[in-house]
Structure 1
Amino acid sequence: MENLPQLFASNQHYLLVVLVFILAGMVKGVIGLGLPTIAIGLLSLSMPAMEAAALLIVPSLLTNIWQLGRGPQLILLLRRLSPMLLGICAGTFLSALLFHKINAAWSGLGLGLALIAYATMGLASIHWNVPTRLETGLSSLTGTLTGMVTATTGVFVMPSVPFLQALNLDKDSLIQAMGLSFTVSTLALAVKLASAGSLDWHVAGSSLFALLPALLGMQLGQCLRKKLQPLLFKRCFFIGLFGLGAHYLWGASA
């Protein structure tokens, strides 16, 4: 993490961060998710995944707070999803204890597997329902696994997003629930990085800078949402994630 200020001294990396966060914000503006997944996936091509995760803290936190605040059922969702949200925190900190220092190759392998699993489920349109009697237990398990994946790869979506989709929430409540889940994941990851000494003022400043292109991308995405076919856009999104995940698996096995 000490080389991050030098990293930003390079104009090429500076431009990369701007373009990545514009793209990631645009995807989030169109479909309501994808900012951390896209940003971590692309930035990790040129820096360690945890450095990319540190850059993501401010843009992810503020855009997700904005997203969860726009829905109609925040209090009800907080009550219903509290087992999952507590599990995210527990899983993040448990992973930090179990895997104090993660080998870069293993982190790349985990990131590749998470991206491919998420992309495969999206392309296959896999959907199921969570029985009411099992929801609390599955919610806690899902949160714990999500926290562990977040702590090792920086990706928030697995398996939290498929679980939330299985709750049969209406569109607005689903987007709000994802914003709530991502906000808690971001905060838990920030605490984990700070406790490990991987989050300092230099990183915080760089992360704050990344907020601007992320917000610009979200505005572009919201404008494009009315002109694009959502199904086609999602298919291209998941195909891209699958290819990115395959790239990480190839690099980890090399």
Structure 2
Amino acid sequence: MILSNLPTLTFFYILLAYFIGGITQGILGVGLITVVISLLSFVVDVKETIALVIIPTIITSFFQMINGNNLRKITIDTKFFLIFSTLIIIPGVILLKTLQSDLILIFIAILLFVNSSLFLSNRIISIPNHKSSLIQSIAGSFNGFIIGLTSIYTMPFVFLLQSLKYDKEKTVQFMGLAFLLYSLMQFFSFIFLKLIDISTIIPSLIVSIPVVIGFFLGKIIRRYVSEILFKKLFYIMLLLMSGIILINGVL
């Protein structure tokens, strides 16, 4: 079992990482997987980290998806993107299984660096003709492959979000729907490729506890803190973590 035979301090650090990821997800509607992978990249193998976080992602994404009244509109607007980004996760997971963990971490660090740099520089990148079925299918396929390989859900997903110009409630619900589909596809792909078994599912259920607690706490915190300030701090942290991960991966 992944969490067995760990030093007590390491075990509680892992639980803390998932708790912080849950809080971030509750406040921003995104960030659980990104935070967990970043904080645990030096403690747990990245493939095990991804396997552990899938079930908590399914749980939090479900609650996020049902919180709103925009599902029908969102589905109509983004159906081709969602279909292709979900299906093309499969070849990404196949490549994930074959590549070395250090190489995957480098890919993740590059994505985090690009994502954080774009946000902190206030760069807005929109997808031309984002309502086109062809454009959504191409962008969705690229997005799905990256998700399958790295479990980073936000690139180029964020470009479609910027193109749609949804309000806050609709944006959070869209992310909930998309992330639920992605995590379910990851779960079944991981089972089929034997990247998840019963020895992984039990620890994943264990770490779901701090994630869910953090998620609902984050939703409460969201009422009292500046989301813009939290986002800036979040992306600054990811920028620093991406540099550390890159240095560690190269060395």
Q: TM-score range by the shorter chain?
A: over 0.9
Q: CA deviation at 1:33?
A: 1.1
Q: Which residue of 1 aligns with 2:223?
A: 226
Q: How far does the alpha carbon of each residue in 1:151-195 deviate from its partner, in whole angstroms, 9 at most, with x for none?
A: 221221111123123211121111111111111111121122112
Secondary structure of the residue aligned to 1:193 is: helix
User: Given residue 114 of structure 1, which amino acid in structure 2 is its aligned partner?
Assistant: L
Q: How far does the alpha carbon of each residue in 1:180-220 deviate from its partner, in whole angstroms, 9 at most, with x for none?
A: 11111111211221122110112111111111101111222
Report the Cα distance in structure 2 between the residues aligned to 1:46 and 1:133, rounded to whole angstroms: 40
User: Given residue 221 of structure 2, which amino acid in structure 1 is its aligned partner?
Assistant: L
Alignment of 1:43-82 (within 5 A): 43-82=40-79
Segments of 4+ in structure 1 off by > 3 A? 96-100, 128-135
Q: How far does the alpha carbon of each residue in 1:85-112 deviate from its partner, in whole angstroms, 9 at most, with x for none?
A: 2212332112244565011221011110
Is the aligned partner of 1:93 residue 2:90? yes
Alignment of 1:1-254 (within 5 A): 4-6=2-4, 9-97=6-94, 100-132=97-129, 135-254=132-251
Secondary structure of the residue aligned to 1:6 is: coil
User: Given residue 33 of structure 1, which amino acid in structure 2 is its aligned partner?
Assistant: V
Question: Which has the larger displacement, 40-49 or 169-178?
Answer: 40-49
User: Given residue 225 of structure 1, which amino acid in structure 2 is its aligned partner?
Assistant: R
Q: CA deviation at 1:133?
A: 6.5
Q: CA deviation at 1:134?
A: 5.3
Q: CA deviation at 1:128?
A: 4.2
Secondary structure of the residue aligned to 2:98 is: coil
Could you tell me whether the CA contact under 8 Å between 1:5 and 1:202 is conserved in 2?
Answer: no
Q: TM-score, normalised by structure 2?
A: 0.92
Report the Cα distance in structure 1 between the residues aligned to 2:161 and 2:250, rounded to whole angstroms: 32
Unaligned runs of 5+ in 2: none
Q: CA deviation at 1:223?
A: 2.5
User: Given residue 6 of structure 1, which amino acid in structure 2 is its aligned partner?
Assistant: S
Alpha carbons of 1:102 and 1:72: their partners in 2 closer, same or farther (altered >3 Å)?
Answer: same
Report the Cα distance in structure 2 between the residues aligned to 1:96 and 1:62, rounded to whole angstroms: 21
Alpha carbons of 1:39 and 1:133: their partners in 2 closer, same or farther (altered >3 Å)?
Answer: closer
CA root-mean-square deviation = 1.9
Secondary structure of the residue aligned to 2:88 is: helix
Unaligned runs of 5+ in 1: none
Report the Cα distance in structure 2 between the residues aligned to 1:153 and 1:191, rounded to whole angstroms: 16
User: Given residue 214 of structure 1, which amino acid in structure 2 is its aligned partner?
Assistant: V
Q: CA deviation at 1:129?
A: 4.2
Alpha carbons of 1:127 and 1:180: their partners in 2 closer, same or farther (altered >3 Å)?
Answer: same
Could you tell me whether the CA contact under 8 Å between 1:19 and 1:213 is conserved in 2?
Answer: yes
Could you tell me whether the CA contact under 8 Å between 1:95 and 1:151 is conserved in 2?
Answer: yes
Q: CA deviation at 1:130?
A: 4.0
Q: How far does the alpha carbon of each residue in 1:127-160 deviate from its partner, in whole angstroms, 9 at most, with x for none?
A: 2444447542232222212221122212211111
Report the Cα distance in structure 2 between the residues aligned to 1:30 and 1:100, rounded to whole angstroms: 32
Report the Cα distance in structure 2 between the residues aligned to 1:99 and 1:244, rounded to whole angstroms: 21
Query: What is the number of residues matched between the two proteins?
Result: 251
Q: CA deviation at 1:71?
A: 1.7
